[in-house]
Amino acid sequence: MSKKLLKWNEDRTLFPEKNSEGKIDVDYDSHKFMKIWHGPQHPGITGNMSLELTLLGDEVMDCETHVGYLHRGFEKLMERRKYIQCFPIVCRVAVPEPDFNEYCFASAMEELAGIEVPEAAEWLRTLVLEMSRLQSFLAWIGGQAGSLGQGIIGQWTIYLRDLILDRFEELTGGRIYHMYMLPGGVRGLLPDGFRERMTQNLDDIDKFMKDVKKVMFDNYVFKKRTVGMGVIDPAWINPFGITGPNARAAGVAKDVRKDNPYLKYPELDFEPVVGKDSDIYTRADVRRRDLLMTVDLIRQIMAKIPDKGDIRAKTPNVLHWKVPAGETYSRAECTRGEYGYYMVSDGTEYPRRINVRGPSYTHAVALLEKMIVNANIADVAGLMVSLHTYPPEIER
Amino acid sequence: MGKEYIEKRTVISPEGNPIEVDPLKDYFCDAAPKSCKSASGIIEKFANWARSESLWVLGFGTGCGAIEMRPLMTPRFDAYRFGIQWRPTPRQASVFVISGYLSVKTLKRVVRSYEQMQNPKFVVALGSCTINGGMYWDSYNTINRLDHYMPVDVYIAGCMPRPEALLAGFDKLKHIIREGRGEGANKYAENFDWYKGNQKKIIKDWDMPDYNW
Amino acid sequence: MQTIIENLQKHFQVVSYHQQRENLGFLIASKEVAVGLITHLRDYEGFAHLVLLTAVDWIEDEHFQLTYLLHHPEKKVDLGVRVMISRENAEMYSIHHLWEQARTYQRELREMFGINFPGSPDVDKPFILEGWEEIPPYRRDFDTKEYSEKTYFPRPGRETHDPAEYMKKKLYPNE
């Protein structure tokens, strides 16, 4: 590979020699190595997970990801709840972006039960998913800038995210957890005046994002710290199961919305955002452009969404809803990549097994452990945030 | 699972001398906590007022509630105007916000962080899941009642509580401290054996000293 | 999709095939041919992306079902390979040499279901749980409610009543 994976000090004379596999043997008794826990109680960690770093000087020699601090056993809990009782807990799987859980759960169930969702409900679902993507991207940009020392971006984008959360509150009644997409439809139509307020918010976001571009992406320090850092080789994409913006930054146009279109995406006009260099800067830039594309998509949806119409399909009594036996997999494109639910039903009122495929699962464990070797300790937080991982969806 | 890292062993120092190391004794100060007597009258009142006006929160997002802490740090809700700010290390913090459910694995880290905090220290438990398990009441990996493992000063109910609710909770905590009822650290010291017993009952992989600070 | 399956049947013994929807199908393969079949799917048919690897516990029939869900990036179709393995001494051949990420899945399955994957790196290391002493929690015979009530000091007040009975007793206590 032509580009260096990470930059380090060229003078390697003081370093121990590599063994036949090209790795350095870690020997703690030589007093050259040091073990440091990065998290879980650490301000530079994304959520509640930890990295066990082995350092030589300030360079990471070895890394092991530890997850499981947020394990609630959702897949077990769902097995002993009826389908409709599962519905309030699925959104708690991924905290900052709950709507994708609701959509995947509802659509897997509808597919097994053979229910057609009314058109107005499909439009509303598309809107909610895109709003959810937007707020998640906004939270992420603040995190990425904050991890590299630019606190002000976080102050702006969390404010912008609050605007979207207000719209969520208006539409669904909840700020974080919405429980809006019931199996068979959605819970309500657009409130009066929602469009005007949403348009106003989108204009604000557009305006602020210009400033964010100026302060963050054109910033010399930010560029210096991120260009050429943390490169994902395009050859890793399939072995590591990389999806979403991490893959698109490497030049692979993977986007579930285009590949396996769902809801109303075939009627919307968009192209997957693709980057080239696959370093931290490109990943951040791909996400920024993706965010602007999402703003554009919400505008398109607002122009097409019907004000009236049927929003609930006819379903059996939800308390005694026996979903026919079968298994299926439903997926959607969230901000981090492919989100999916694998559902197995055995024909009773309780699901047999539900498995959640969170994109962070592969990004945060196998990929991060590989990428982080030879990084500088100061870049660990930035590198980790640039993969956009959310621990709750790894361990569920 | 081997636990060589907490067993007694001999290491060679950089100068080449062998040293006996007993990690649990040498790396921690493990004397049991003592309850502190409060000063009398007006001095204690003044101290309590000062404590209540500078609540320094430990930046440890233990659960989903951490997502609502970000808006509190930013201009819209702005908790800093009430003297609340976030600190990166337990040594500098006086308030521990338990943001949501605690799995057993996290509880172990929370206990360590809590014991490392300086007296006086206060615990704000956020969300229904810390009160009675909430959504996860029948889960095999999350605790049901936080007050069995550490003294809790304020509970904030909700799943999840809004930032306004958090601000109200902090306000309540201030009142409690000003009235001199924020005695969590002393309570922990007085009922130390009971708390330790409860913690040890569920944390099976106990590889730390009984009390470390 | 149909052509892929017909191609497959020339080389391997596929027990049954079920088309769930236009771009998703499930087939059942035996434990011995499964890894060969998956390798063939990856190398010759182009199913390059492992979407997920998970298990289902069919306790009544005394076996685990392992599901390897593969995705074809060009044709945009998914194929699930279902493998049935016995519940006693559950063991399966590892596929960590095909996909790097598979070792994470296998570590999780080892811990949560107790399915062993000999040869997979770090498979015996604890992944999510810490100090777990009971049977693996995702198995059907593990009762999470009972364990939680036994272990975590449930707060009194969370009782469930049959609404009809409860209201009758409350409204007409003398009858």
β B55-58/B84-87 pair status:
parallel
Is the CB of residue B147 less than 8 Å away from at least one CB of chain C?
no
Question: Confidence class of residue A11 from pLDDT cuts 50, 70 and 90?
Answer: low
CA distance A52 to chain B (A): 14
The reported pLDDT for the residue numbered B1 is 41
The pairs formed by B80-87 with CB atoms below 8 angstroms and a separation of 24 or more are: B82/B55, B82/B167, B82/B170, B82/B171, B82/B174, B83/B53, B83/B54, B83/B55, B84/B55, B84/B56, B84/B57, B84/B170, B85/B55, B85/B56, B85/B57, B86/A43, B86/B56, B86/B57, B86/B58, B86/B59, B87/B56, B87/B57, B87/B58, B87/B59
Q: Is the pLDDT of residue A321 over 50?
A: yes
More confident residue, A30 or A343: A343
Domain residue ranges of chain A, discontinuous segments joined by +: 75-360
Best to test chain C binding among B110, B138, B146 (most C CBs inside 10 Å)? B138
Nearest CA-CA partner of A257 in A349, A140, A365, A126: A126
Q: Which residues in chain A are closer than 8 Å to B60, comparing Cβ atoms?
A: 40-41
Q: Which residues in chain C are closer than 8 Å to A352, comparing Cβ atoms?
A: 56
C20/A326 CB distance under 8 A = yes
With a CB cutoff of 8 Å and minimum separation 6, the contacts of C77 are: C1, C4, C23, C24, C25, C71
Q: Is the pLDDT of residue B83 over 70?
A: yes
Nearest to A342 among C69, C73, C103 (CB): C69
Residue of C nearest to B199 (CA): C152
β A50-56/A33-38 pair status:
antiparallel
More confident residue, B28 or C117: C117
What string of DSSP letters covers A72-92? --HHHHHHTS-HHHHHHHHTT
Q: Which residues in chain A are closer than 8 Å to B101, comparing Cβ atoms?
A: 72
Provide CATH code, domain C2-171: 3.30.460.80
The reported pLDDT for the residue numbered A44 is 64
CATH numbers and ranges of domains, chain B: 57-181 (3.40.50.12280)
Nearest CA-CA partner of B33 in B131, B108, B120, B153: B120
Neighbouring chains of A at 3+ CB pairs within 8 Å? B, C
A117-124 mean pLDDT:
89
Task: Give per-residue pLDDT as tens, A258-297.
Answer: 888 888 888 888 888 888 888 888 988 899 999 999 999 9
With a CB cutoff of 8 Å and minimum separation 6, the contacts of C140 are: A79, C57, C59
Task: Give per-residue pLDDT as tens, A228-248.
Answer: 888 888 888 888 888 888 888
The reported pLDDT for the residue numbered B106 is 87
Q: Is the peptide bond before B120 cis (omega within 30 degrees of 0)?
A: yes
As to burial, measured by CB atoms within 10 angstroms (0-12 exposed, 13-18 middle, 19+ buried), residue B127 is buried
Label residues A147-164 b or e (16+ Cβ within 10 Å = b): bbebeebbbbbbbbbbbb
Q: Which residues in chain B are closer than 8 Å to C147, comparing Cβ atoms?
A: 140
Cα–Cα–Cα angle for C91, C97, C103, nearest 5°? 60
3-state secondary structure A53-76: EEEECCEEEEEEEECCCCCCCHHH
Best to test chain C binding among B112, B140, B205 (most C CBs inside 10 Å)? B140
Question: Confidence class of residue C107 from pLDDT cuts 50, 70 and 90?
Answer: confident
Residue of A nearest to C82 (CA): A327
Residues of chain C whose C-beta is under 8 A from some C-beta in B? 126, 128-134, 137, 142, 144-145, 147-149, 151-155, 157-158
What string of DSSP letters covers chain B? ---GGGS-EEEE-TTS-EEEE-HHHHS---PPP-PPPPPPHHHHHHHHHHHHH-EEEE----SGGGGGHHHHHSTTT-GGGGTEEEESSGGG-SEEEEES--BHHHHHHHHHHHHHSPSS-EEEEESHHHHH-GGGTT-SSB-S-GGGTS--SEEE-SSSPPHHHHHHHHHHHHHHHHTT---HHHHHHHTHHHHHHHHHHH--S--S-SS--
A78-107 mean pLDDT:
86
B160/A89 CB distance under 8 A = no
The reported pLDDT for the residue numbered A6 is 53
Q: Which residues in chain C are closer than 8 Å to A344, comparing Cβ atoms?
A: 56
Q: Which residues in chain B are closer than 8 Å to A29, comparing Cβ atoms?
A: 11-12
Q: Is the pLDDT of residue A2 over 60?
A: no
Q: Which residues in chain B are closer than 8 Å to C153, comparing Cβ atoms?
A: 144-145, 148, 198
- Neighbouring CB atoms inside 10 A of C30's CB total 14
Q: Which residues in chain A are closer than 8 Å to B140, comparing Cβ atoms?
A: 73, 76
| Tokens coding C51 | 């979407």
Task: Give per-residue pLDDT as tens, B124-133.
Answer: 888 888 888 8
Best to test chain B binding among C110, C122, C130 (most B CBs inside 10 Å)? C130
The reported pLDDT for the residue numbered A203 is 92
β B84-87/B9-12 pair status:
unpaired
Tell me which residue has tokens 């972006």. A97
Fold classified for A75-360: Cytochrome-c3 Hydrogenase; chain B (1.10.645)
Neighbouring chains of C at 3+ CB pairs within 8 Å? A, B
Q: Give the type of residue at A333.
A: E
Nearest CA-CA partner of C126 in B205, A359, B207, A54: B205
Tell me which residue has tokens 């390897």. C68
C57/A342 CB distance under 8 A = no
Cα–Cα–Cα angle for B156, B159, B164, nearest 5°? 55
CA distance C28 to C33: 10
CA distance B156 to B164: 11
Task: Give per-residue pLDDT as tens, B149-182.
Answer: 889 989 998 888 888 888 999 999 999 998 888 8
Cα A106 to the chain's mean position, in Å? 19
Nearest CA-CA partner of A366 in A2, A57, A63, A36: A63
The reported pLDDT for the residue numbered B147 is 86
Q: Is the pLDDT of residue B88 over 80?
A: yes
Cα A193 to the chain's mean position, in Å? 30
CA dihedral for A381, A385, A391, B1, sign (positive or negative): negative
Cα A271 to the chain's mean position, in Å? 19
Domain residue ranges of chain C, discontinuous segments joined by +: 2-171
Nearest CA-CA partner of A24 in A374, A371, A378, A375: A374
CA distance B106 to B112: 10
As to burial, measured by CB atoms within 10 angstroms (0-12 exposed, 13-18 middle, 19+ buried), residue C167 is exposed
Best to test chain C binding among A81, A232, A352, A362 (most C CBs inside 10 Å)? A362
A366/C104 CB distance under 8 A = yes
Nearest to B76 among A41, A88, A159 (CB): A159
- Mean pLDDT is highest, among A130-139, B18-27, B36-45, B55-64, for A130-139
* A270 within 8 A of A291, measured Cβ to Cβ: no
C58-65 mean pLDDT:
86
Nearest to C148 among B1, B105, B138 (CB): B138
Residue pairs spanning B and C at CB distance below 8 A:
60
CA distance A41 to A54: 18
| Tokens coding A198 | 């949403």
CA distance A258 to C57: 34
Task: Give per-residue pLDDT as tens, A169-207.
Answer: 888 888 888 888 888 888 888 888 888 999 999 999 999
CA distance B122 to B109: 17
